[in-house]
């Protein structure tokens, strides 16, 4: 096995585990700070580190068109997705959040059908989407009483918007195919989205209070910056560029399991057989969607 492939598998394993742990870190962080503030500080700091690294290596600033598109993608994928997701964890369990996020491939398929190339609606694709949504419905069965709580409903709403925003941003990324180093571009996306979130949360009346900056918050923030954003995203990009896309997407099936398990063990979140089974059903549906999309892509490539 080539060394690059070995490193790619190691990178994929890191993404699969560590991105799952960020749900726990975010849940801890939002105990002491507004979710948008936490996400804004995380993305701004991580973006500045990545941009500085590439500038020191002699990279030039991207042109205005590329920067403007990086801004749009950054706002959609990190501000309206990661930011709202972190905010949502003030109101709903991190495990539930992770399971809902696992449906992102279904949303990507829907938007790809209308915005890029019309994906062939095969029976496997339709069945996979229905099974995935059925799994999510089963998970919500455990939280029927919680739906009467306005804060819980807000958390679910924010999570759904986050999923849709990430999916649309992913489709735009594929459609625009910006000619810029992935990590360098990611640095600008993080920085732009972080600034937007910090400005937004400031306009909402929230400020950084030194009284809330305790050790637990610092640990959460530093973990999200270095492990979640820098190490996690770098590993994901490396895996994506050295492994088949279908294989690199395996992380999406492992992240929710890690998040649900850690939420149950450490945060004492609800976990019963209905939740566990519904989680597996959701992931099975998403897997079927990915298989169908992958097959359709291969057929298009052969036809082309």
Report how many domains make up the chain: 1
More confident residue, 122 or 299: 122
> What percent of the chain is predicted at pLDDT more than 70?
90
Model confidence at 301, in pLDDT bands (50, 70, 90)? low
Q: How far apart are CA 123 and CA 104, in angstroms?
A: 19
Across the range 131-138, mean pLDDT stands at 81
110: pLDDT strictly greater than 60: yes
Model confidence at 188, in pLDDT bands (50, 70, 90)? very high
Are 200 and 36 spatial neighbours (Cβ–Cβ below 8 Å)? yes
Predicted TM-score (pTM) of the model is 0.83
* Count of other CB atoms within 10 angstroms of residue 206: 14
Q: Give the HSE-up count for residue 52: Cα atoms under 13 Å, Cβ half-sphere.
A: 7
Structural domain containing residue 57: 1-302
Across the range 31-39, mean pLDDT stands at 94
Are 2 and 194 spatial neighbours (Cβ–Cβ below 8 Å)? no
Instruction: Report the pLDDT value the prediction gives residue 116, as an integer from 0 to 100.
Output: 60
Across the range 36-60, mean pLDDT stands at 95
Q: What are phi and psi of 31, to 5 degrees?
A: -70, -25
What would you report as the CA-atom Rg of the chain, rounded to the nearest whole angstrom? 19
Instruction: Report the pLDDT value the prediction gives residue 1, as an integer from 0 to 100.
Output: 45
Model confidence at 216, in pLDDT bands (50, 70, 90)? very high
Are 255 and 24 spatial neighbours (Cβ–Cβ below 8 Å)? no
Across the range 16-27, mean pLDDT stands at 92
- Poorest-confidence range of 75-89, 90-104, 180-194, 278-292? 278-292
Tens digit of pLDDT for each residue in 218-274? Answer: 999 999 999 999 998 888 878 877 776 666 777 777 888 888 889 889 988 877 788
Helix (H, G, I), strand (E, B), or coil: what is residue 156?
Answer: helix
Instruction: Report the pLDDT value the prediction gives residue 34, as an integer from 0 to 100.
Output: 93
List the structure tokens of 106.
Answer: 């279904």
């Amino acid at each position: 096995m080539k060394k690059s492939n070995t490193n790619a598998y190691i990178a994929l394993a890191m993404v699969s585990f560590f991105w799952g742990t960020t749900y726990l870190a975010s849940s801890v962080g939002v105990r002491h700070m507004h979710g948008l503030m936490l996400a804004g500080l995380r993305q701004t700091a991580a973006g500045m580190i990545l941009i500085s690294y590439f500038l020191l290596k002699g990279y030039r600033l991207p042109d205005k068109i590329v920067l403007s598109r990086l801004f749009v993608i950054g706002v959609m994928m990190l501000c309206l997705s990661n930011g709202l997701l972190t905010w949502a964890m003030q109101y709903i369990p991190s495990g539930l959040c992770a399971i809902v996020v696992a449906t992102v491939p279904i949303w990507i398929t829907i938007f790809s059908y209308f915005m890029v190339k019309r994906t062939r609606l095969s029976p496997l694709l339709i069945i996979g989407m229905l099974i995935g949504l059925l799994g999510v419905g089963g998970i919500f069965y455990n939280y029927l009483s919680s739906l009467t709580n306005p804060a819980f409903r807000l958390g679910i709403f924010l999570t759904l918007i986050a999923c849709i925003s990430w999916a649309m941003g992913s489709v735009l990324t594929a459609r625009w195919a910006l000619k810029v180093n992935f990590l360098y571009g990611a640095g600008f996306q993080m920085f732009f989205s972080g600034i937007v979130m910090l400005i937004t949360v400031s306009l909402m009346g929230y400020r950084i209070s030194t009284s809330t900056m305790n050790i637990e918050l610092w640990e959460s923030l530093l973990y999200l910056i270095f492990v979640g954003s820098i190490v996690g995203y770098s590993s994901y990009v490396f895996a994506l560029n050295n492994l088949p896309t279908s294989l690199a997407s395996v992380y999406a099936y492992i992240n929710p399991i890690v998040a649900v398990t850690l939420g149950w063990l450490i945060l004492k979140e609800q976990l019963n057989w209905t939740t566990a089974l519904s989680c597996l059903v959701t992931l099975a549906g998403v897997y079927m969607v990915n298989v169908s999309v992958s097959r359709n892509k291969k057929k298009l490539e052969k036809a082309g």
